[in-house]
C-alpha cells in the first residue's frame, strides 16, 4: 500500500511539474489582445452593419491583407486573391473573358458573383473563395510559424481553419472603401465639376440618360439583377441569374456592378465584350437587344431604340463616369501588397 501511495504521489508531482513547464501560445506568440478598429465612412453612405463574430481589428486586417497577396492561399501556390483583383484596376482585372467584379465597398454587398450565386455575408463569400475556389491547403498555413503567430494574435486560435482565413480576408476587404473621386469631392464642396462633367451628371441622374435607376449614388449600384439588353437569345453561357434561381424571368439577368472607378475596370459587362467606356455608352445609345426578360427601364416610351444621345452628350456622360475615379484608392498603401 505504501509503495502504491508513493507511486501515486510521484505521478501527481510529475504532472504538476509538467503542467508548470507547459509552453502556452502566449509564450510563443505573445498575448491575444486584438486592437479594435473603427470603420469610418462618409456621412452620405449607407450605415454599415458589422458582424458581431468578426469585428474589425488591426491584427485581423493586417492578416487579411497578407493573405490577400500571398499565393499560399492557393492549393498550387500559383495565384493569390490579388492575381485577379489588382489594385491598379480598382481590384478588378484587365484580362479578357469573364469580367472580374471589383473588390471595393464590399462592406455593403449582399450578393456576390455576377449571378448572385452567393447570397451571403462577406465572410461566407470569402469562405467560398478560400475553400472551394482557391482550395487553400490548411496544412501549409498551420506549418508556417509566422502565420501561426498572426492567426493567434488576430483570432486567438492555435489551429488555423478556413473560417479564420476567410474572416481575416473579409476584415481586410471591408477597409477597401472608395469615396474620394472628383464626384465625392464635389459633394463635399471641395471642388467644382467641369461643365462637361456637370452635363454628364445631369444625363446620368435624369430620365435622359437613365443610368441612376441601376447605378444610384453613393454606391453606384442597386445590388439587384437586371437584363440590360446585351443579348436577344440565351444559352448556358449567358443564363445569368436564371442559373441560380431556375426562374425563366431571371434569364439574362446579372448583378448591376458599381460604376465607381469604372474608368479603371475595363473590359466591361459580365463577359468583357466592351473595351472602352465609349463602347458601353454607345451600346446603351443604340445597341440594346430586346428579349422577354429585358428590364423595363430599357424599353421606356421613346427609348425602344436606345438613349439616342448626340455626340456631345455621349462625351459628357463618359466625362462624368471618369469623375467617379478615386486615385487615392488605387494608391492607398494600406491596401497594397505587404511583400
Is there a domain that residue 94 lies in?
A: yes
Q: Which domain holds residue 269?
A: 182-323
Are 289 and 220 within one domain? yes
Is there a domain that residue 5 lies in?
A: no
Three-class secondary structure of residue 254 per DSSP: strand
Is there a domain that residue 22 lies in?
A: no
Three-class secondary structure of residue 298 per DSSP: helix
Are 110 and 216 within one domain? no
Is there a domain that residue 196 lies in?
A: yes
329 and 104 in contact (C-beta within 8 Å)? Answer: yes
Cα dihedral 321, 280, 93, 213 in deg (nearest 10)? 60
Classify the C-alpha dihedral 95-171-63-138 as positive or negative. negative
Is there a domain that residue 9 lies in?
A: no
CA–CA gap between residue 332 and residue 339 (Å, rounded):
15
Residues 158-184: pLDDT tens digits?
A: 999 999 999 999 999 999 999 999 999
Q: Using only C-alpha atoms, what is the Rg of the chain?
A: 25
**Terminal Cα-to-Cα distance of the chain (whole angstroms):** 65
The residue among 161, 178, 195 that closes a domain is: 178
CA–CA gap between residue 33 and residue 323 (Å, rounded):
42
Q: Which helix (H) or strand (E) holds 225?
A: strand 225-226
Are 190 and 269 within one domain? yes
Are 43 and 169 within one domain? yes
Is there a domain that residue 17 lies in?
A: no
Is there a domain that residue 113 lies in?
A: yes
What does the block give as the cell for 156? 486567438
Residues 6+ apart with CB under 8 A from 326: 90, 178, 179, 180, 181, 184, 260, 261
Are 211 and 254 within one domain? yes
Question: Which residues of the chain have a pLDDT value below 50?
Answer: 1, 6, 8, 10, 13, 15-18
pLDDT of residue 159: 97
pLDDT of residue 4: 55
Are 234 and 317 within one domain? yes
Are 186 and 172 within one domain? no
pLDDT of residue 21: 63
CATH code (residue 108): 1.10.760.10
Are 281 and 197 within one domain? yes
Are 188 and 164 within one domain? no
The residue among 129, 152, 178 that closes a domain is: 178
Is there a domain that residue 164 lies in?
A: yes
* Total domain count, the chain: 2
Other C-beta atoms lying within 10 Å of the C-beta of residue 160: 23
The residue among 145, 178, 211 that closes a domain is: 178
Are 78 and 191 within one domain? no
- Phi and psi at 83, nearest 5°, equal -65, -35
Are 140 and 218 within one domain? no
Are 157 and 248 within one domain? no
Amino acid at each position: 500500500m505504501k509503495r502504491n501511495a508513493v507511486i501515486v504521489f510521484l505521478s501527481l508531482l510529475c504532472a504538476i511539474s509538467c503542467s508548470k513547464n507547459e509552453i502556452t501560445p502566449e509564450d510563443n506568440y505573445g498575448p491575444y489582445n486584438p486592437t479594435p478598429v473603427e470603420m469610418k465612412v462618409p456621412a452620405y453612405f449607407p450605415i454599415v452593419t458589422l458582424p458581431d463574430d468578426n469585428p474589425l481589428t488591426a491584427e485581423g486586417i493586417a492578416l487579411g491583407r497578407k493573405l490577400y497577396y500571398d499565393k499560399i492561399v492557393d492549393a498550387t501556390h500559383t495565384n493569390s486573391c490579388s492575381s485577379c483583383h489588382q489594385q491598379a484596376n480598382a481590384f478588378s482585372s484587365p484580362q479578357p473573358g469573364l469580367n472580374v467584379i471589383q473588390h471595393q465597398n464590399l462592406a455593403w454587398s449582399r450578393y456576390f458573383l455576377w449571378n448572385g450565386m452567393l447570397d451571403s455575408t462577406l465572410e461566407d463569400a470569402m469562405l467560398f473563395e478560400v475553400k472551394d475556389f482557391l482550395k487553400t491547403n490548411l496544412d501549409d498555413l498551420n506549418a508556417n510559424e509566422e502565420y501561426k503567430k498572426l492567426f493567434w494574435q488576430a483570432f486567438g486560435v492555435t489551429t488555423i481553419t478556413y473560417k479564420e482565413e476567410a474572416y481575416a480576408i473579409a476584415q481586410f476587404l471591408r477597409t477597401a472603401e472608395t469615396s474620394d473621386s472628383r464626384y465625392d469631392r464635389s459633394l463635399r464642396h471641395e471642388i467644382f465639376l467641369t461643365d462637361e462633367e456637370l452635363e454628364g451628371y445631369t444625363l446620368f441622374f435624369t430620365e435622359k440618360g437613365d443610368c441612376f435607376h441601376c447605378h444610384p449614388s453613393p454606391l453606384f449600384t442597386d445590388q439587384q439583377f437586371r437584363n440590360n439588353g446585351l443579348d436577344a437569345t440565351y444559352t448556358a453561357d449567358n443564363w445569368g441569374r436564371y442559373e441560380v434561381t431556375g426562374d425563366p424571368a431571371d434569364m439574362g439577368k446579372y448583378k448591376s456592378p458599381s460604376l465607381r472607378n469604372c474608368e479603371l475596370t475595363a473590359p466591361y459587362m459580365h463577359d468583357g465584350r466592351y473595351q472602352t467606356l465609349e463602347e458601353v455608352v454607345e451600346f446603351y445609345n443604340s445597341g440594346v437587344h430586346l428579349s422577354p426578360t429585358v428590364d423595363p427601364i430599357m424599353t421606356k416610351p421613346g427609348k425602344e431604340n436606345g438613349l439616342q444621345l448626340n455626340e456631345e452628350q455621349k462625351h459628357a456622360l463618359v466625362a462624368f463616369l471618369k469623375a467617379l475615379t478615386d486615385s487615392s484608392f488605387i494608391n492607398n498603401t494600406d491596401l497594397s501588397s505587404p511583400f
